[in-house]
C-alpha cells in the first residue's frame, strides 16, 4: 500500500483507540499551537479543534524514513516499530488488567521497552535526541533511537510502580503527542528545563513518570528515594543514577487499588496537556480543558504536593534481591541497583536517614488520607484493601499533636 510505511504514527493507532469511549470513532483533537498562514494578502489561523479519527491523529509523513538518494528506506517503521508495537500492545493490555499470573515477567519487559521507545519516537523525543547528542541528520537520529531504545528501563525498573483507576470519575484520561509524560513539581511548565523538547530528568528524585494505559487506568512510576524521603530537594539525584546497569524488580510490589477522584484526574490531565509538544486528544472536548475546572493550577500543590505519590505505608526499608541459579551461583541487587562490593550497596547512614524520613512521611500521609490506604501491593501475599489499626492511627495523631505543641513552645 502506498504510504503504508511512510505515514508514521508516533502514537500508534492501537494505543489511541484505548482512549475512545465506546461507540466513538473520532477524537476532539486539539492543537495547542495552531499554525498561522498567509495567502493572497490574507492571514488566518488554522482551527485549533479538529474532529479526527486515530488514523489521522499523531502522525507525520516520513518521520522515520531515511533517504538514500532517490531511495526511501522504511525499515525503522516496518520492522523496528512493528515488533515493538506488537509486544507493547499486549503488555499495555496486561498492565491495564494487572495481576500476578502467567506472562507477567514478559509483559513487564515488553512494557518497559515499549515505554522507553515511545518516549523517544515522538517529535518531542526525537528533538531531544538530536539536541542532547548534537546530531542533525535523519540517519544519525534513527541510529540513536535504536541504540538507546531502553535508556530509561533501568531507572524505571527500580522505581515504585502504582496503577491508579479513574473508573469512578466522569472525566477520563486524555492522550497527548508525548504520552510517556514526565513531571517534577519543582520544574514549572515555563521553566528553562521544561521548554521545547526538554523534560525534567528522571534521575532526579522528585521526578515521576506517568503513562495512561486506557481511559480509566494510568501507570505512575516514582523514584524509591523520593517515597522514602519527600522532604529533600526535588532535583537531588537519586542513588546510583546511571542509566545502564543490571537490575531486578519484584513485580509483587506493584501497587493497585487507588481510586482517583475527578479532581485528581483533571490535575493529571493538566500535567499531560502542559507537557505535550503540540497536540492532545480526548473522547470529550471538556476533558481537554482541565484548567477550567481546577481550583488552582499551581504546579507543585496538586494533591498537597503528593498527587502522584504511591501509598508510602506499603513501602518498607531494605529491598535487596538475591537470585539463585541451577549451577549453585547467585547474584545480589540492592534496592538502587548496587551490586556487592560497589559503593552504596550497604550504606548504613543512608539507611538510617531514609528509615527516619519514611516513618515521618507515613505518619503525615496517614493524617492526610485517613486510616484507609489508597493503594496496596501483593507483596508477601497480602492482597486487597488495607486499613491502619486504631492503635497505629492514635499514635500518629498523638505524635502530630505533640509535634505541634513543641513548635508552639519554641
For position 341, what pLDDT does the model report? 87
CB 173 within 8 A of CB 19: yes
Parallel/antiparallel/unpaired status of strands 59-61 and 7-9:
antiparallel
Summarised one tens digit per residue, pLDDT across range 132-158 is: 998 889 999 999 999 999 999 999 999
pTM: 0.94
Vertex 87 angle, CA 269 and 215, to 5°: 25
**Minimal CA–CA distance to 161: which of 407, 13, 384, 378?**
378
E strand spans, 313-387: 321-324, 330-333
Question: Measured over all CA atoms, what is the biggest interatomic distance in the chain, rounded to whole angstroms?
Answer: 80
Q: What is the pLDDT of residue 320?
A: 85
C-alpha cell recorded at residue 45: 489561523
379 pLDDT more than 70: yes
d(Cα 95, Cα 212) in Å, to the nearest integer? 11
pLDDT recorded at residue 1: 42
What are the pLDDT digits (tens) for 40-99? 777 778 899 999 999 999 999 999 999 877 778 888 998 999 999 999 999 999 999 999
The Cα 408–Cα 410 span in angstroms is: 5
Q: At what angle do helices 81-96 and 104-121 cross, to 10 degrees?
A: 120
For residues 239 and 342, what is the distance between their CA atoms, to the nearest angstrom? 12
Rounded to 5 degrees, φ, ψ at 219 are -100, 130
Residue 33: per-residue pLDDT? 93
pLDDT digits 0-9 by tens, 328-356: 888 888 999 999 988 989 899 999 999 99
pLDDT tens profile 192-204: 889 999 999 999 9
DSSP state letter for 374: S
The rounded distance, in Å, linking the Cα atoms of 252 and 14 is: 28
Other CB atoms closer than 10 Å to residue 356's CB: what's the count? 12
Q: What is the mean pLDDT of residues 305-327?
A: 91
Q: How far is CA 350 from the centre of its chain?
A: 26
- 40 contacts: CB under 8 Å, gap ≥ 6: none
pLDDT at 410 > cutoff 60: no
Mean confidence (pLDDT) of the chain: 92
| Alpha-carbon radius of gyration of the chain | 23
353: phi then psi, degrees, rounded to nearest 5:
-60, -50
Q: Which cell is 246 given?
A: 543490571
Q: How far apart are CA 408 and CA 348, in angstroms?
A: 34
Amino acid at each position: 500500500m502506498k504510504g503504508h510505511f511512510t505515514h508514521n504514527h508516533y502514537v500508534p493507532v492501537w494505543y489511541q483507540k484505548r482512549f475512545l469511549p465506546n461507540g466513538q470513532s473520532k477524537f476532539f483533537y486539539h492543537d495547542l499551537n495552531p499554525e498561522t498562514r498567509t495567502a493572497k494578502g490574507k492571514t488566518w489561523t488554522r482551527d485549533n479543534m479538529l474532529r479526527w479519527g486515530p488514523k489521522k491523529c499523531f502522525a507525520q509523513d516520513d518521520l522515520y524514513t531515511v533517504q538514500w538518494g532517490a531511495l526511501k528506506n522504511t525499515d525503522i517503521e516496518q520492522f523496528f516499530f512493528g515488533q515493538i508495537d506488537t509486544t507493547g500492545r499486549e503488555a499495555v493490555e496486561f498492565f491495564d488488567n494487572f495481576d500476578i499470573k502467567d506472562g507477567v515477567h514478559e509483559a513487564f519487559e515488553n512494557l518497559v521497552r515499549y515505554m522507553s521507545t515511545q518516549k523517544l519516537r515522538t517529535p518531542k523525543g526525537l528533538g531531544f535526541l538530536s539536541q542532547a547528542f548534537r546530531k542533525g541528520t535523519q540517519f544519525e537520529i534513527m541510529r540513536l533511537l535504536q541504540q538507546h531504545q531502553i535508556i530509561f528501563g533501568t531507572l524505571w525498573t527500580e522505581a515504585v510502580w502504582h496503577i491508579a483507576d479513574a473508573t469512578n470519575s466522569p472525566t477520563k484520561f486524555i492522550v497527548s503527542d508525548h504520552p510517556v509524560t514526565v513531571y517534577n513539581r519543582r520544574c514549572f511548565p515555563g521553566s528553562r528545563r521544561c521548554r521545547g523538547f526538554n523534560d525534567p530528568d528522571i534521575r532526579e528524585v522528585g521526578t515521576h513518570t506517568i503513562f495512561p494505559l486506557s481511559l480509566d487506568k494510568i501507570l505512575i512510576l516514582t523514584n524509591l528515594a523520593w517515597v522514602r524521603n519527600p522532604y529533600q530537594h526535588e532535583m537531588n539525584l537519586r542513588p546510583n543514577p546511571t542509566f545502564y546497569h543490571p537490575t531486578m524488580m519484584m513485580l509483587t510490589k506493584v501497587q493497585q487499588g487507588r481510586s482517583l477522584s475527578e479532581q485528581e484526574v483533571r490535575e493529571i490531565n493538566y500535567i499531560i496537556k502542559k507537557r505535550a509538544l503540540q497536540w492532545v486528544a480526548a473522547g470529550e472536548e471538556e476533558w481537554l480543558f482541565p484548567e477550567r475546572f481546577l481550583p488552582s493550577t499551581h504546579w507543585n500543590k496538586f494533591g498537597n504536593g503528593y498527587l502522584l505519590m504511591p501509598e508510602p505505608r506499603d513501602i518498607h526499608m531494605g529491598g535487596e534481591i538475591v537470585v539463585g541459579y541451577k549451577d549453585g551461583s547467585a547474584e545480589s541487587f540492592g534496592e538502587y541497583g548496587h551490586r556487592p562490593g560497589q559503593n552504596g550497596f550497604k550504606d548504613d547512614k543512608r539507611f538510617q536517614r531514609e528509615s527516619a524520613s519514611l516513618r515521618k512521611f507515613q505518619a503525615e500521609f496517614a493524617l492526610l488520607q485517613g486510616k484507609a490506604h489508597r493503594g496496596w501491593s501483593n507483596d508477601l501475599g497480602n492482597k486487597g484493601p488495607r486499613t491502619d489499626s486504631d492503635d497505629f492511627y492514635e499514635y500518629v495523631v498523638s505524635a502530630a499533636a505533640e509535634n505541634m505543641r513543641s513548635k508552639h513552645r519554641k
